[in-house]
């Protein structure tokens, strides 16, 4: 939900950091993050579109 939106934004759009340990998932070659629309509230539009396009093409 929305309570995780800030953490998700740091995990996906921020750099790898010890402040946001979830950001280390960026380094995993097959990492997958599953979230609802409310958790995406703080992501940039382009980021959401990019990942939705990837998902659509791989289902």
- pLDDT tens for the chain, residues 1 to 59: 999 999 999 999 999 999 999 999 999 999 889 999 999 999 999 999 999 999 898 87
* Residues 15 and 23: beta-carbon distance below 8 Å: yes
Q: What is the pLDDT of residue 21?
A: 96
Q: What is the pLDDT of residue 58?
A: 85
Q: What is the pLDDT of residue 14?
A: 97
What are the boundaries of each domain within the chain?
Answer: 2-57
Q: What is the pLDDT of residue 59?
A: 78
């Amino acid at each position: 939900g929305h309570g995780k939106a800030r953490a998700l934004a740091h995990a996906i759009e921020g750099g790898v950091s010890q402040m946001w340990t979830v950001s280390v998932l960026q380094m995993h070659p097959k990492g997958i993050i599953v979230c609802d629309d409310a958790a995406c509230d703080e992501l940039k539009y382009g980021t959401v579109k990019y990942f939705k396009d990837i998902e659509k093409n791989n289902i």
